[in-house]
Structure 1
Amino acid sequence: MKLAEKVTFGGSGLDRAAHMRGDPARIAEAMEHPQAAAVVMWRGKPLVLGPDLDRLALIPMDHPVLIEDRGGNGNGSVFLGVAAEGAPLFACDISDWEPEALDAAALGMFLDPSEQVHPDLPDASVFAELRRIMTRLSPVDAELAATAKAILGWHGSHRFCARCGAESLVSHAGWQRTCPACRSHHFPRTDPVVIMLITYGNSVLMGRSPGWPKGMYSLLAGFVEPGETLEAAVRREVFEEAGIRVGAVTYLASQPWPFPASLMFGCAGAALDRQILIDPTEIEEAIWVSRDEMMTAFAGDHPFLKPARRGAIAHFLLQNWLADRLD
């Protein structure tokens, strides 16, 4: 697919400088660099700026908030790489901070609309849900935010050694955890997921999960199991969820999806029949949608169907399917 890397979080060519991660002296020197800055995260939300919340608020590494909170939640700072102009970039988590009048209900919503303002961070900067603002960010900022969210989220959920249960320590500039008891090494987890553009003639298969907003449908998706190819995962998931057999499968594009830590493999598949038989434990509903209906949905004029969320690979694949740009 010629436009594969145009997907949100599709990458910006960030120099991750992985060769520096195992050198504590170089990382310490990078932290002291006069232009060193951090992507600041609070409970999975990046700190952003601007009236449209379309820019990351990169904070100097010597900012008092970062010095005070660095390592407070056991995560420390993660070295993200080097910016084009040579500035070292880090990710810092200040999730231990408790905002005043925190709206707990908003944090649990499907798409959290709340914003948090830290009194000691720059004016006009807020913590905002990444899913809400992801399409507004530049490719560089989107890659930095997705990487920071995923790697810090992994640290937050993998503090203890999976082999012996002892609390592990951050190492390799945040890209590894080492157990001081049994010396096991643990590496950031990424879960492979297939998401499928399944077509039959001029129609595409769409489904919805319980709890989704009214009218929201998307492409079917599911986790790849151990010992399974992407093609086999596509066929298995579609049959399990919708009872439809799939023939030829091709790869289209991928998308890092830090909610919490997936890599979405976008695939196209040809359905062998149209008869839908859903598994209600997997999805709530599945429907065939014609190309004309999907175009109406993308225009916002469909009576009940809403297009997949902008920024998600499902929206990207459907948009390119409508435009005949899947080759």
Structure 2
Amino acid sequence: MTNNPSPFAFVDGALDRADHLRDDPETLASLWPQARIVVLEDDGRAYADRNDALLAPEGATLGGGPGTAIFLGLREGQAWFAQSAKLVAYDAPARIELRTAATQWPTFEATVFAQARAMLHWHARHKFCGVCGGELGFVRAGWLGQCARCGSEHYPRTDQAIITAVTDGQRLLLGRQRNWPPRRWSVIAGFVEPGESLEQTVAREVLEETGVIVRSCRYVASQPWPFPGSLMLGFLAEAGPDVPVVGEELDDARWFDADTIRAGLARDWAVGPEEEEGGIALSAPISIARWLIQSWLASVTR
């Protein structure tokens, strides 16, 4: 572990998840009145105040007890929970989505929001048993689904995905998806398949999406990516200089030199690329994708 702040979102400020309290409903009930409750709509937006700051009321304000709320963890002795807006008799002046919050809120609050969003998404999409179709009931403060019919246990799901900056030594390989704004580019990413190592995933995804053969790769960092429930596993890879040939997933893939990447990073990522006269726009500052691009640029220009 390092004490240096993470260069991307949803990593720093994580709660003490206090696993031992998930089987202690009495203690959770005693913590509820002073606990903070992150309330989310079905679309993943969180309750916010009129200034778009986090509005996480205390349990005493909401009333009742933990009940169907998901226990997220502790911070300096204070409990934090996540709850669906459908289950609270409480409203807020505004709602805010996670990508926006991650650029505006304190690091801790954005990280808690990410955890709450991922867990409530899992609850919403796992109401029935995948073994027998029976209805699931959630125990362990929301962290375990039990089938009322066959007794099968279901745990929160995280989808592993690789994301990799691929270089031929002097250039960086970037791709763009068909639904992205014009001139938006990013590094290559894809989900890990069953029975596959991370290194095999890197080689397969890069080949499938761009036709480029990876010679070697190394893991560098990871980022929770709750859109809706992934873990991005960051790699740096060496390949090429093959000519990119896109498959079905990408609209285009190209090699870019350091000057072009530097100009892309200097450009405001949030400005619509259609408003620019040429040039490229790169990934958002909250993402590990942008950090991988920055890391590559630093390695070739130092």
Q: TM-score, normalised by structure 2?
A: 0.89
SS of aligned partner of 1:298:
helix
Corresponding residue for residue 217 of structure 2: 249
Corresponding residue for residue 21 of structure 1: 22
Corresponding residue for residue 45 of structure 2: 45
Cα distance change on mapping 1:192 and 1:12 into 2, 3 Å: same
- State the alpha-carbon separation in 1 of the partners of residues 199 and 45 from structure 2: 34
Cα distance change on mapping 1:224 and 1:46 into 2, 3 Å: same
- State the alpha-carbon separation in 2 of the partners of residues 325 and 82 from structure 1: 42
- State the alpha-carbon separation in 2 of the partners of residues 295 and 225 from structure 1: 34
Residue 126 of structure 2 aligns to which amino acid in structure 1? H
Corresponding residue for residue 154 of structure 1: 122
Residue 80 of structure 1 aligns to which amino acid in structure 2? L
Identity %: 36
2:270 maps to 1:287: no
Q: Deviation string for 1:246-273 (max 9, x for gaps)?
A: 0111011100000000000010000132
SS of aligned partner of 1:62:
helix
Corresponding residue for residue 104 of structure 2: 136
Corresponding residue for residue 91 of structure 2: 121
Residues 1-327 of structure 1 aligned to structure 2 (within 5 Å): 5-31=6-32, 34-43=33-42, 44-49=44-49, 51=51, 53=52, 55-64=53-62, 76-84=68-76, 86-95=77-86, 120-121=90-91, 125-279=93-247, 281-300=248-267, 303-324=278-299
Bigger drift between 141-150 and 129-138 goes to 129-138
Gaps of 5+ in 2: 268-275
Q: TM-score, normalised by structure 1?
A: 0.82
- State the alpha-carbon separation in 1 of the partners of residues 215 and 5 from structure 2: 23
SS of aligned partner of 1:160:
coil
- State the alpha-carbon separation in 2 of the partners of residues 94 and 289 from structure 1: 45
Residue 292 of structure 1 aligns to which amino acid in structure 2? D
- State the alpha-carbon separation in 1 of the partners of residues 200 and 175 from structure 2: 20
- State the alpha-carbon separation in 2 of the partners of residues 9 and 308 from structure 1: 16
Deviation at 1:310, TM superposition (A): 2.1
Gaps of 5+ in 1: 98-117
SS of aligned partner of 2:34:
coil
Cα distance change on mapping 1:289 and 1:171 into 2, 3 Å: same
- State the alpha-carbon separation in 1 of the partners of residues 166 and 50 from structure 2: 39
- State the alpha-carbon separation in 2 of the partners of residues 270 and 289 from structure 1: 14
SS of aligned partner of 2:17:
coil
Cα distance change on mapping 1:26 and 1:320 into 2, 3 Å: same
Bigger drift between 259-268 and 316-325 goes to 316-325
SS of aligned partner of 2:282:
coil
> Runs of at least 4 residues of structure 1 off by over 4 A?
1-4
RMSD across aligned positions (CA): 2.6
Bigger drift between 209-218 and 299-308 goes to 299-308
CA contact under 8 A between 1:39 and 1:47: conserved in structure 2? yes
SS of aligned partner of 1:16:
coil
